[in-house]
Structures are given as structure tokens and as C-alpha cells.
Copies of this chain bind each other. A is one copy, B any other.
Amino acid sequence: MQRFTDPAALQAWAQAVRARGETIGFVPTMGYLHDGHISLMHIARPQCDHLVVSIFVNPLQFGPDEDLDRYPRDESGDQARCVDAGVDVLFFPTPPTMYPDGFQTRVKAGPLASPLCGASRQGHFDGVVTVVLKLFNLVQPHVAVFGAKDYQQFQVIDAMVRDLNLPVVIQAGPIVREPDGLAMSSRNAHLTDDQRQQALCLSQGLNRCEALVADGEFDVARILAAARAFVSQQPLADIDYIELLDAEHLTPIDWLQRPAVLAFAVRFGATRLIDNRILSP
């Protein structure tokens, strides 16, 4: 496995690969890799000649009061996991090389970035699309794979790819869960035992709502009331949002008529977890 820290060197490598007519697959991450990340590598691996993984905790997508400084890191563990997953190139840039003095041009996401995490985290998605565009330009992937746990992130990136005519195919890998149902996340490492136990209210709340819909409940207000009541039973759970939006446009709906995304963001102490499920009538 090759390892690059210099963006220009990585880009030169990618240009040479492209000029030979070979293909590049890409999984961008913030590191502290878990089985969710590895599953994305397994999706990309058979689709490309060269598999690139980036590890970059992107300061631009964290607000001033967010957890940039305490975001978990494990460089050597990540490196070993990438070798095991058949990664060819690990890209490990630093903030000063990604955002040198004078950096000033950003990508601005549109209305898809307004609800859910975009409402809770001002400027978050502008930071996401800016770094993803930079990484795409450096890595020059033919295909890039993102996790479905960040549902809104995928929709916002999908819009960017379409709107800016990026020559890349993006794919979403299914949410990977712990045996008891908790969606895998690097941030799970911060949970205390009690928080970890109560955090099951996310996946179980989604299950509960899915069962309601299977039983014929299509009234969005009632589905949301059930979800909020279920999560609120856990004393350590602090709901950031629980919403059910049109799955394509992320706009409010009153009644489940076509696919919708049920999205949860719940805080446990300083740790904010998200999860989601697509519900169809």
C-alpha cells in the first residue's frame, strides 16, 4: 500500500493512472475506521484497478462548538485495516496542505442542505461538499462510495456531482450495525456504558416506526409522535431532531405516499449520533 500526505503528489499519481486508462475507486473517510468504512471499501474494490482511501478530519465541516478536537483518531490502526481491505493508496493530508493561507473559494450546497443536520450544524454541508470536491479533484476517482448512515450528506453530494458535472459515479453503501442494532460510527467510541445501552433507542425507534408503517400507519404526525415518545423514554437521550421527509427532496410531508426518510439525530452527553431508515407506503 502506497501512502501519500502531499496533495500534489497524490494528484500526480492519479493523473498518471488516468492517462494509462486505468480506473480509480475512492472511499473518503475521517478515519477511526470501523466495519462500516470497511464495507465501503469492499464495495469499491471490485469496481476499480486502484482503490484509494482518504483519512482527513476536515475542519471546514465542524462548527466552532463542535467536536473537531475530540474526534477520535487511530492512524496506525487505520493503516492496518486499510492493508487488510486491499487498499492500494492511503491519502492522509494535513489541514495546512488542504487549506493553505489564502484559501478562499468554497462550494455552497443548495436547499437539500437546509433541513436535518444542515439546520443543526450551520455551514456543515458547505464544508462537506468543499472537501469532497477537493478530494475528487485530487484523487480523480471513477467511482466513490459513501455510507448511507449519512443520508443527507449523500443527497447533498449527489446534487453537487450532478450540478457541477463531476465525472464520477457515486454510490451509497448500506448502514452497517453492531449485533444489537446500533449503527456503526467513529463517535460510538465516546459513549459511556449507560449511553451505549440507551443509544439503542435510535435503531429500535426506527424499527418501531417501520413496523407501524407496515401495519398501515401513513400519517406522518403520528409516526413522528411515536418515534419521539420512544426515544424520549431513555433519560440520557437528548433529541436533536426526529423527522420524516420526502426521500428525494428532503421536504416536509404530511402523509406517506412515496419513499420518505425517517432521520434521527440524538445527543448522549457531548456525543451526537444519527441514524435513518427509508420508509415506503
A contact residues vs B (CB 8 Å cutoff): 7, 11, 15, 18-21, 102-112, 129-130, 133-134, 137-138, 140, 159-160, 162-167
Contacts and interface: CB of A to CB of B under 8 A. Distances in A.
A133 B20 contact: no
- Copies of this subunit: 2
Contacts of A107: 105-108, 164
A105 B137 contact: no
B134 A164 contact: yes
Contacts of A19: 18-19, 21
16 contacts: A11-B165, A11-B167, A20-B21, A21-B21, A102-B162, A105-B107, A105-B108, A105-B109, A105-B164, A106-B107, A106-B163, A107-B107, A134-B163, A134-B164, A134-B165, A138-B165
B104 A129 contact: no
Contacts of A15: 167
A164 B133 contact: yes
A163 B159 CA distance: 21
Contacts of A130: 164
Nearest to A99: B163
